[in-house]
Amino acid sequence: MSSFFTQILFIPIYNLLMFLVGTVPGHQVAVAIILLTIIIRIILLPTSLKASRSMIELQKIQPEMTAVREKYKKDQKMMSQEMMALYKKHKVSPFGSCLPLIIQLVVLIIFYRVIMIGFNADHFNLLYSFIKHPSSINLIFWGVNVSKPNLWVLPLLAGALQFIQTKMMPQPPATKNATDPMVAMNKQMIYFFPLITIFIARSLPAGLAIYWVITSLVMILQQWYINNKYDLGFIGRFPAVAIAKLPEYTLEPDANPDGTEKPEYKKERAKGVEITVRKRKL
Amino acid sequence: MLDPRLNRGWTEKIMKKVLVATINLYQKTLSPDHGWFSARHPGGFCKYQPSCSEYSKQAIEKKGVATGVAISIWRILRCNPWSQGGADQLK
């Protein structure tokens, strides 16, 4: 199993990185890592743009979604039906996919392994025959050794960029009954998450911190583009919604007192009977 | 000597507990659907319903570790930018 992953994931990325090291001027490993990170982000660009767009579209209708959720609190089936109807009405749906998230994590692990085995000639036997062996490998980039942890500059930069990036991601417009504990949690995490980033980046080789910094940088640019497109400003703020305009989160008069509403299955059943009757006649 | 079958049941139990605990930890922290940043994604992040982590948790709990992990991997592979998404309950 592990050799399967080595063959299919580790060796191709090792080759690509070594090819870039051999191609870039000065044979800088750091420059190769930056290039490879940008290549990966470009591959993921269409999907991640689409995901941020769908996120904003969904945030726009968040008040209505809260209303539906409140109304069908006790009837999961009706709730999801009504949600689907709402999505259809506004022509939106969640577009986030989990695979790109996993891919980013896997790339991080592979980078870690590549940096850990070191950039020396001992491992050139892993290179494909058509990849030229780099004549020299330069690990030092602006005084930073890519294979050793960098204690301050890169981790702090990664944390700061992570903070800006998280801050820029839009948040749903405020709603009347905003008692969701996750909203408060989210606010704290904007500040706490970059700190975790700093501590993790301090303990990893500087090459990984570079990957982190470049990823955040590209995502900031992406978010900036999206925010401008939706007129949300650099920070990604939704214009304040007047409270009077928000839908009322109350039950409809015909609903059951416990917040459920019985869906009508009658029509479907009648159809089924018709079909069976016809079949018998044949 | 312990009966190897008994032993396997024991490892399976531990593995299941560890995996479910890991998924729970993920859902409480980094998960965009259930964790710290879930308020940002009002309709949920994952295109499938239930989300990948919830689906995997149910799969591992109901079908055992080996089968559960296999169908979880299959679900995550399906959760890609080119798939349709939508309701997808564990069968």
Cβ-Cβ contacts under 8 Å, A100 against chain B: 80-81
Q: Which residues of B touch A (CB under 8 A)?
A: 32, 36-47, 49, 51-52, 76-77, 79-81, 83, 85-87
- The pLDDT of residue A271 is 47
- C-alpha span between A228 and A56 (Å, rounded): 12
Q: For residue A134, count CB atoms less than 10 angstroms from its CB and return exposed for 0-12, middle for 13-18, buried for 19 or more.
A: buried
A196: nearest Cα among A167, A155, A165: A155
> What is the predicted pLDDT for the residue at A159?
92
For the CA atoms of chain B, what is the radius of gyration?
15
pTM for the structure as a whole: 0.76
- The answer to whether the Cβ–Cβ distance between A185 and B42 falls below 8 Å is no
Residues B63-84 have pLDDT tens digits of 989 999 999 999 999 998 888 8
pLDDT digits (tens, 9 = 90+) for A104-138: 888 888 888 888 877 766 777 777 777 777 777 77
A221-256 pLDDT, tens digit each:
998 998 888 877 777 777 665 555 555 544 454 555
Dig out the tokens for A111 from the structure: 């980078």
Distance CA A52, CA A164 (A): 16
ipTM entry: 0.82
Segments of chain A scoring below 70 in pLDDT: 1-2, 120-121, 174-180, 239-282
Which comes out higher in pLDDT, residue B46 or A176?
A: B46
Cβ of B39 and A172 within 8 Å?
Answer: yes
Q: What is the pLDDT of residue A178?
A: 53
Instruction: Say if residues B59 and B20 touch (Cβ distance below 8 Å).
Output: no
pLDDT of res. A213: 92
> Given pLDDT bands bounded at 50, 70 and 90, which one contains residue B29?
confident
> Average per-residue pLDDT in chain B?
85
Alpha-carbon span B39 to A180, nearest angstrom: 8
Q: Are A63 and A247 in contact (CB under 8 A)?
A: yes
Phi first, then psi, for residue A190 (nearest 5°) are -55, -35
Contact residues, chain B, for A62 at CB < 8 Å: 42
Closest partner residue to B81 among A100, A169, A183, by Cβ?
A: A100
Residue B18 pLDDT: 94
Annotated domain spans of chain B: 4-80
pLDDT at B47 over 50: yes
Residue from A229, A92, A243, A231 nearest A174 by CA = A243
Chain A residue numbers touching B36 (CB-CB < 8 A):
182, 185-186, 189, 193
Residue among B29, B30, B45 with most chain A CBs within 10 A, to mutate:
B45
Q: Which residue type occupies A4?
A: F
Note whether A83 and A65 are within 8 A (CB). yes
Query: Are A33 and A211 in contact, with CB atoms under 8 Å apart?
Result: yes
Instruction: Outline where chain A has alpha helix (H).
Output: 2-5, 11-23, 29-60, 62-71, 76-90, 98-117, 153-168, 181-203, 206-229, 266-281
